[in-house]
Chain A
Amino acid sequence: MMAHSRHLALPLFSLRFVHIWRRNLLVWRKLALPSMLGNLADPMLYMLGFGYGLGRMLPSMSGTTYIAFLAAGTVCSSIMMSASFEAMYSGFSRMHVQKTWDAIMNAPVTLDDVLFGEAMWTASKSLLSGVAVLIVATALGLTDSWLALWTLPIMFVTGLAFASLGLIMTALSPSYDFFMYYFTLFITPTMLLSDVFFPADQLPPLLQDAGAFLPLSHAVALVRPLMHHTVPGNIALHVGVLALYAGAGFYIALVLTRRRLLR
């Protein structure tokens, strides 16, 4: 019983997470180019392909072109994808395949530090994806607002939210195959319900309601106005939902990972 209650303890945060963050940065630096290409090619191609191809046939959308509409969605979805891949595939490699976390925990570092380091790293890396899309969007003239700089902290919190959700899956996963379920059953619906490719108000009311619970829709609700020179409404609500996903998700991931590794 004692062991179980300790697994439920609140996270103990410390600056030691920086060691894990730096370890991952050192690996990333070695593979930066292919990693960036891999992370960026997909969202960029969709943005340009749909944006210009489909965009020609569409009227302007609440004052902007379709590709400008899509750019904001792509910033957010690229963060979601990058964070999910990092937290799940890379995280699982480090936890289960390479046993990197085990090695770290033999040093004076706790699992809480390791997981927090992973979440912070994942959010940082996904921020980079979001920023890269933002830079391309700016270069294409799809945003010209200084308000867009406010998207940076929002991207980070969004990355943290998807890092936490991904780490929950990692804690539960028996193998890499398991992550396919998450992508098919959660990430893909999220993409379609969260205002990324088309306005969510085009959807039946039930699906609109479902979308309102998804973290990505709240990220888009903040990022899109900011990229289009508008201060978003309901800032506290949207930031709050993202922070809740990040915080509660992290706690759940931590409890599950403790149960898996510290048994």
Chain B
Amino acid sequence: MNAALHNPPASSHGNPGYADICLEVRGLRKSYGSQEVVAGIDLTLRRGECFGLLGPNGAGKTTTLRLCLGLTDPDGGSITMLGHPVPLAAREARVRIGVVPQTDNLDPDFTARENLLVYGRYFGLSVARMRERIPALLEFAGLSNRADDNIKSLSGGMKRRLTLARALINDPDLIFLDEPTTGLDPQARHLIWERLRQLVGQGKTILLTTHFMDEAERLCHRLAIMDHGRMIVDGSPRELVATHIEPQVVEVYGDGAEAWASERGTQLSERCEQTGETVFCYAHDVEPLLQELEQQPQLRYLHRPANLEDVFLRLTGRDLRD
């Protein structure tokens, strides 16, 4: 990777105000009217860590990010970001922060290059610094050959990559990403993931929200599942799967799956859940279950190890959130 893109954090801007803790949140609360959207959150982010905030729509993820950025005032609790108290010194803290918002807000009147240039000015970057940095960022985003194209002609994935590049214009220590790959096709998602891994490899600290479990599982060292404004659990993806769910899952579909589940499924597995026409059977040992299913030609099934999505659904329930 181009050396100009990344200055090692230790040498360039060691803010003595914070050592290893990039973000410290204690007892954070925020209500809108009678609804408590963030209901007492504690969160500690160490330098170099990729932390995922998972949760259904309306769980309070985006509000938590806005609170951390100082864009809205909390009703209670404290936030310290890169050594600065937030919201009091949020502006100063944002000097070393990069943000990829949930919906693209690139400047539609500008080219890719101009977007980076104008955004760099908001950080007070010198023309010389940007002249060095912008080509490197365009390369990072895979947009070197589209640098002078208008934003309107870029695909969704390209825009997302440009938004990520824009968030890096100030070589931030801490990067917030709010659902970075929502709405992207698989190719575009993989490319974003690869770039995020590069950033973590460079020692950047990342806080991302997502409701894609595979995204969280691939990228995050640690994650927390949020619901109704609270963090229900946190830990590494592996720990969460090991602690909160049986290790094996058998998904059963087909005619009569429901009847079969209530009769046999519940007996042969430790837990059975149904979503639509699919029955999910959870167990430590699924051999008896699989043998039984071999006898049921009308049913189709899929045996797989439990994953984060199973944990997520177990903890937040299977009801729709809108």
User: Which residues of A are interface residues toward B (Cβ below 8 A)?
Assistant: 2-3, 6, 16, 19, 22-23, 26-27, 30-31, 98-100, 102-110, 261-263
Contact = CB atoms under 8 A, between A and B. Distances in A.
Contacts of B95: 108
B121 A19 contact: yes
Contact of A26 (B72, B118, B122): B118
B101 A106 contact: yes
Nearest to B96: A108
Nearest to B99: A106
Contacts of A104: 122
B109 A30 contact: yes
B105 A100 contact: yes
A103 B119 contact: yes
B258 interface: no
A3 B75 contact: yes
Contacts of A263: 32, 72
Given A3-B75, A105-B71, A262-B71, A98 B105 contact: yes
B110 interface: yes
Contacts of B99: 106
A107 B93 CA distance: 10
Contacts, number: 68
Given A19-B121, A103-B101, A3 B73 contact: yes
Nearest to A1: B75
A242 B49 CA distance: 54
30 contacts: A3-B72, A3-B75, A16-B122, A19-B122, A19-B124, A26-B110, A26-B118, A30-B109, A31-B109, A98-B107, A100-B107, A102-B101, A102-B105, A103-B101, A103-B105, A106-B69, A106-B94, A106-B99, A107-B170, A108-B91, A108-B94, A108-B95, A108-B122, A108-B123, A108-B124, A109-B122, A110-B91, A261-B71, A262-B72, A263-B32
SS class, residues of chain A in contact with chain B: helix
Interface residues of B, number: 28
B108 interface: yes
A100 B119 CA distance: 11
B251 interface: no
B91 A109 contact: yes
Contacts of A2: 73, 75
Name which of B92, B101, B103, B105 has the most chain A CB atoms within 10 A of its CB. Answer: B105
Interface of B: 32, 69, 71-73, 75, 91-92, 94-95, 97, 99, 101, 103, 105-110, 114, 118-119, 121-124, 170
Contacts of B103: 99
B82 to A, nearest CB: 12
Contacts of A26: 110, 114, 118
A99 B71 CA distance: 14
A22 B110 CA distance: 13
Contacts of B107: 23, 27, 98, 100, 103
Contacts of B91: 108-110
Contacts of A261: 71
Contacts of B97: 106
B94 to A, nearest CB: 4
B213 to A, nearest CB: 27
Q: Which 7 pairs across A and B sit closest by C-beta, in order of nearness?
A: A107-B122, A99-B105, A106-B99, A103-B105, A3-B73, A108-B94, A27-B109
A186 to B, nearest CB: 29
A225 B66 CA distance: 52
Nearest to A4: B73
Nearest to B123: A107
B110 A27 contact: yes
